Amino acid sequence: MIQEIHSFKKEIDNIPVPYDKLDAIITRTVQATEADKRTKIRKKIAYTAGAAAVACGLLFGSAALSPAMASIVSKIPVIGSVFSQYGDSGLKRVSENGLTSAVGMNKVSGGDSLTINEVFYDGTRLSIGYSLKTEKPMGKAYTNLRTGLTVNGKVQGSFGGEKQTKITPTYRTGILELDSPAKLPDRFELGLNLSTEDRQKKWDFTIPVTKQSGTKLIAIGHKQQSGGVDLTVSDLVIGPAGVRLTFSAVSEDQDSVAYLLVRVVDEAGHELGSQSGGIRSQFRDGKYYSTGTQLFDPLPAGTKTLTFTPRLSFPSMGGGVAIDPDGTETPIEFTPPQASKKIKFDSFTVTLP
């Protein structure tokens, strides 16, 4: 672990300082200053920036050992927690409260350095923050990293998605999300295998993960039927980073279950923002059996009731072009599936314990 922290400090020390941008700021601020004075100022700022980078490395090393220090570091602009840099209120909240686990594991492949900065797992979500530094500007191969996952050595096929933020042409941060975290044990070893799209660069990690306390499982068990769809909203998991809803549906029509979403509103009329979600379907015995989850923003303090409105959410735009054997192109207009006209679900309210 000490070696991993040391590597993480080294990674922070090597973050490039944008001297050209610093010069531009200096020029705008002190336009009347003579050129030789600007040169001296630049050297002074460069020295200060280098010292700051060293200090940041020490801060992040401390954050890997102390939740309190992790909370402090997460509040520092630019160099803070990866989770705090995205428009995700749940991850930002747990980052600022020091609930994330600082990792600091670093691996290098072909000169490109990838660091797992932090992990958060509470039963509603498993989120992994990383940073990537390359020797050359990143091309398309780095846009979406290929991801392989194992839990205690067993392959985990339900990867959720990835978000990236470009800091410089050779430095970016990202967040990986795992679907169906409620099925995971409280403690496990996460095997994380990352590679570029062209598989030329690969990074392998083994990360110990522990579930954060403070989550609540609320059994709902609400059932209703509409337009040939049997819907069951089974349960709700509430945690500090968000709210995860689980539901299932059975129908003979695939469109009737493939586009199911649930709208959630509290007693004050505030609609919870939806961060992610998805549905998986299997066809057997002439019917489509689907299970779905949705991850919402954290609950406002003091929330007592939630009202759920299941609905079908079809794409509003689409279409294409049909090409005949002779090369003739015929536009195809997008038409919403007819199922949307006959399926209307009722809202229902759940009182929170």
Q: What per-residue confidence (pLDDT) applies to 170?
A: 95
Q: What per-residue confidence (pLDDT) applies to 255?
A: 73
Residue 15 DSSP one-character state: S
- CATH of 2-210 among 3.40.50.720, 3.40.47.10, 2.60.40.1630, 2.30.110.10: 2.60.40.1630
Residue 346 DSSP one-character state: P
Architecture of domain 216-351: Sandwich (2.60)
Residue 53 to residues 62, 85, 170: CA-CA distances in angstroms?
14, 19, 17
Q: What per-residue confidence (pLDDT) applies to 14?
A: 52
Angle between helices 67-74 and 89-96 (to 10 degrees): 130
Q: What per-residue confidence (pLDDT) applies to 9?
A: 43
Residues in the chain: 353
Count CB-CB contacts under 10 A for residue 33.
13
Smallest CA-to-CA distance from 313 within 348, 278, 265, 350 is with 278
pLDDT values of the chain reduced to their tens digit, one per residue, 353 residues = 434 444 444 444 455 544 444 444 444 444 444 444 444 444 444 444 444 443 444 444 444 334 444 444 433 433 457 887 766 778 888 787 788 888 999 999 999 999 999 999 988 888 999 999 999 999 999 998 999 989 999 987 666 778 898 999 999 999 998 766 667 889 999 999 999 999 999 999 999 999 988 888 899 999 999 988 999 999 998 988 889 999 999 988 877 777 788 999 999 999 998 877 778 888 888 999 988 888 898 898 899 999 999 988 776 555 455 566 666 766 656 565 555 567 889 999 999 98
Side-chain-side CA neighbours of 180 within 13 Å: the count stands at 14
Q: What per-residue confidence (pLDDT) applies to 327?
A: 64
* Block residue for tokens 């998605």: 161
On whether the CB atoms of residues 147 and 192 are closer than 8 A, the answer is yes
Angle at 75 between CA 68 and CA 276, to 5 degrees: 100
The tens digit of pLDDT for each residue in 265-318 reads 999 999 998 877 778 888 888 999 988 888 898 898 899 999 999 988 776 555
Smallest CA-to-CA distance from 103 within 86, 87, 89, 120 is with 120
| Structural domain spans, the chain | 2-210, 216-351
Smallest CA-to-CA distance from 313 within 289, 294, 332, 333 is with 294
Residue 298 DSSP one-character state: P
Burial of 36 (0-12, 13-18, 19+ CB in 10 A): exposed
Count CB-CB contacts under 10 A for residue 88.
24
Residue 271 DSSP one-character state: B
Smallest CA-to-CA distance from 70 within 57, 55, 56, 59 is with 59
Count CB-CB contacts under 10 A for residue 253.
17
On whether the CB atoms of residues 131 and 114 are closer than 8 A, the answer is yes
Question: Rounded to whole angstroms, how far apart are CA atoms 345 and 353?
Answer: 25
On whether the CB atoms of residues 118 and 101 are closer than 8 A, the answer is yes
Strand segments, DSSP code E, in the chain are 101-109, 112-121, 126-133, 146-151, 154-156, 159-168, 171-178, 187-195, 202-210, 216-226, 229-239, 242-251, 260-266, 274-284, 287-296, 305-312, 320-323, 329-332, 348-351
Domains 2-210 and 216-351 share a fold: yes
